[in-house]
Amino acid sequence: MKLKFNSEGKFKILLFGDIHEHEDYKTNLRFKDMQKLMNAALDEYKPDLCVLLGDNCSTELFSKDSEKFKELVTDLLAPITSRGIPVAAILGNHEHDHGHEDEVVAVYQSIDGCLMRNETAPEITGNANFKELIYSSNGEKPVFCLWFIDSNNCFEDRSISHYDYVHPDQIEWFEEESAKLKELNGGKPMPSFVFQHTPVPEEYNLLRKAKWWELPVSVKGYNSHSQTRYVGKKGVEGCVGEGPCSPDVNSGQFASWKKVGGVIGAFFGHDHLNDFSGYTDGIFLAQHRTAGFRAYTDGCRSCVRLVTIDEKNPEKFTHELKRFKEFGLKCECLGPIMKRITDRQSFWMHAFANVAMGIAGIAIIAMIITKLIEYFGG
Ligand SMILES: [Fe+2]
Ligand SMILES: [Fe+2]
């Protein structure tokens, strides 16, 4: 399937993060609500490509019944494929959980309109590393490249890093292919985006240590960053809802983007409460919260992101987030209290949770001190 800029010279990509669909989807209201969001976004934006950012299904179903798994993936993608829109799905850590990665990729690949595949040799790490070129609107020459990288599962030694990273052999493949594209592009690096599930460690460059008065609205860093509480730096847009769960080992992927050139933006899933974005070292990084209601989420803030590239100026792009509620949709899967709470800004939810935890912590310490005084004093 050849991707190309549309007749208006634009290419619109619609992103869906961490849907985490399960086998009971046919009777589950959470699936129904997710599909409402998908349909509303597809009708409004009429994208040229959709991307599912991994953890699309978190189920053991393939091990139990591969045909039923194919039915689940087919139904999950149906709103997109039935409109004749191509969809590039990538693997998240949960697609790696049950040891059938190659078969799972084959299922996606067998669905009409689905672009997931593995372009790298079997000995290269990952099960679905591939790229797609976007051609000029007259179809004559490639103008832009989309990289879809498998960020693998958890790291084998969790004392070093909880999550795995993009391995040096994957980075080497990216560099070799980038060199070919540069040649094709008249000696200039071809502008490109990277889509992958687990964020690069450089995500933390978009955050800074919270001041004491910001603690109620801060988030705790993840793993090697867990001693620090963070807020977004000035200029960072969107919600910092949790410490980014990037790997604790930096394999040099971001440095490779800088060295090779061409990568102007990277889009990640994995952290269901984060949708912040900003520039670090000239590259745009964006986290994408869940578009579903299955995994941990703050409910009605589930959203999609539209990214639009302009053929005349492919190194510039626009992006916007739109949430479930902003499409005018009514949520059926959440009860009235959760619906009301999650209609509010995450900012206030986090502030409330942090203050409540702080008060509880102080109360526990005060109680322990009182007991110690009683014990030693009496
Ligand atoms: Fe996830
Ligand atoms: Fe994940």
Separation of CA 54 and ligand 2 centre (Å): 7
How far, in Å, is the centroid of ligand 2 from the Cα of 97?
A: 11
352 assigned to some structural domain: no
Count up the domains in the chain and report the number: 1
Interval between CA 2 and ligand 2 midpoint (Å): 29
Ligand found nearest the CA of 56: 1
What's the gap in Å between 53 CA and the centre of ligand 1? 9
pLDDT of residue 76: 97
From ligand 2's centre to the CA of 153, what distance in Å? 8
pLDDT at 358: 82
Along the 378 residues of the chain, how does pLDDT read in single tens digits?
899 999 999 999 999 999 999 999 999 999 999 999 999 999 999 999 999 999 999 888 888 889 999 999 999 999 999 999 999 999 999 999 988 999 999 999 999 999 999 999 999 999 999 999 999 999 999 999 999 999 999 998 888 999 999 999 999 999 999 999 999 999 999 999 999 999 999 999 999 999 999 988 899 999 999 999 999 999 999 999 899 999 999 999 999 999 999 999 999 999 999 999 999 999 999 999 999 988 877 677 889 999 999 999 998 899 999 999 899 998 888 877 766 666 544 556 666 777 788 888 888 999 999 888 888 876
18 Cα: distance to centroid of ligand 2 (angstroms): 7
C-alpha 312 to ligand 2 mean position (Å):
35
Least distant ligand from the CA of 18 = 1
Q: Could you give the CA distance from residue 19 to residue 292 in angstroms, rounded to a whole number?
A: 5
Q: How far is the CA of 191 from the centre of ligand 1 (A)?
A: 28
Q: How far does residue 214's CA lie from ligand 1's centre (Å)?
A: 27
The answer to whether 189 and 172 are in contact (CB under 8 A) is no
Ligand nearest to the CA of 96: 2
Is 144 a domain residue?
yes
Ligand closest to Cα of 58 equals: 1
Helices (H) and strands (E) in the chain, counts: 8, 15
Give distance in angstroms: CA of 205 to centre of ligand 2.
20
**Strand residues in the chain grouped as ranges (E):** 3-4, 10-16, 49-52, 87-89, 130-135, 142-149, 192-196, 207-209, 219-220, 229-232, 263-268, 277-280, 283-287, 303-310, 317-323
Residue 370 lies in a domain: no
Dist. CA 289 → ligand 2 center (Å): 11
Residue at 218 is within a domain: yes
Over the range 249-272, which residues count as b (16 or more CB within 10 Å of their CB) and which as e?
Answer: eebebbebbeebebbbbbbbbbbb
Query: One-letter amino acid identity for 136?
Result: S
For residue 165, what pLDDT is reported?
96
DSSP letter at 238? S
Question: How far does the centroid of ligand 1 lie from the alpha carbon of residue 213, in Å?
Answer: 31
Gap between the Cα atoms of 197 and 206, Å rounded: 18
- Cα 118 from Cα 241, distance rounded (Å): 32
Give the burial class of 281: count Cβ atoms within 10 A of its Cβ; 0-12 exposed, 13-18 middle, 19 or more buried: exposed
Rounded to the nearest angstrom, the distance between the alpha carbon of 19 and the centre of ligand 1 is 7
Task: Judge whether 375 lies within some domain.
Answer: no
The domain in which residue 329 lies consists of 3-344
First vs last C-alpha separation in the chain: 81
Is 184 among the domain residues?
A: yes
Residue pair 244/271 in contact by the 8 Å Cβ criterion: yes
Query: Is residue 28 within 8 Å of residue 22, measured between CB atoms?
Result: yes
Protein residues with C-beta less than 5 angstroms from the ion ligand 2 = 55, 92-93, 270
The pLDDT of residue 276 is 96
pLDDT (0 to 100) of residue 306: 98
What is the structure's pLDDT at 346?
A: 53
Residue 198 within a domain = yes
Q: Residue 257 is encoded by which pair of tokens?
A: 């983007």
Give residue 24's pLDDT.
Answer: 93
Is residue 45 a part of any domain in this protein?
yes
Cα(26) to centroid of ligand 2, in Å?
23
| Beta strands 3-4 and 130-135, pairing class | parallel
Task: Provide the CATH number for the domain around residue 265.
Answer: 3.60.21.10
The strand pairing partners of 152, in sequence order, are: none
